[in-house]
Structure 1
């Protein structure tokens, strides 16, 4: 989108806050007609700015209260290992995010599990699929800020 403006930013802010809002509500907030609001949202979807509309779920209420960050170092950096790693982490339930990193750390994995036994099951699934040089884990004691909204 070449003409991304303040109205688009306002629309995105509102949608990031609550994507279930009606077009009427959104159009009132941003000062556009319902149809103009809908067209801008469609343009942002078509441009790939809006990539999905999702429902956020309280992890504790569905039995996944423990968040873990796994720091992974690999002994291999070849394309075959990277491909197998990507396939493995995409198919293991509980793994939410995976990032390839710079520096000493090769990968950072964010996961949700029920408890330490759940973490051990996730860990065992991962190491059964491919070799890693080192995995260390840090467990979240308190969520101070956890947001999906990007600053606009």
Structure 2
């Protein structure tokens, strides 16, 4: 069971995983050693899945985001696994979601420029049969990040 300090620790870490334990401890009114033990407990309990660095997409040369909506006429377990393998081998596909509704999957694709999307598209359709793919270019990111609300965590 999480308490309010645990939630504050989780919230702070997902905004800055490199925060010093002493600074985090001050933020949640704990000693550094007690705060460190809580972090370890949260990691062991699976609340913290991993710690990563979020890169500046402009600086690493992939500022363009394309969202691709995918329809398939295949829904077997084998096809789904082949699709997972196909997209996992394409580093430009940075997120993939299975959907309800008219489309089956949503892919978030990071590329240097719009024209590079066609290269990614061709690599994908060479690997797996798709019924329809509709692409949408993001004009502006209004909100981005990996942080999730922690107030629901128990």
Q: C-alpha displacement at 1:40, in angstroms? A: 0.7
Q: C-alpha displacement at 1:125, in angstroms? A: 0.6
Q: C-alpha displacement at 1:13, in angstroms? A: 1.2
More helix by share: 1
CA RMSD after TM alignment: 0.8
1:43 equivalent in alignment to 2:49: no
Runs of 4+ displaced beyond 2 Å: none
Aligned to 2:6: 8
Q: Separation in 2 of the partners of 1:122 and 1:108?
A: 15
Give the length in aligned residue pairs. Answer: 150
Q: Matched residue of 2:59: which SS? A: helix
In the alignment, structure 1 segments of 5+ residues that lack a partner are: none
Aligned to 1:17: 15
Aligned to 1:130: 128
Q: Separation in 1 of the partners of 2:56 and 2:85?
A: 27
Q: Separation in 1 of the partners of 2:128 and 2:15?
A: 39
In the alignment, structure 2 segments of 5+ residues that lack a partner are: none
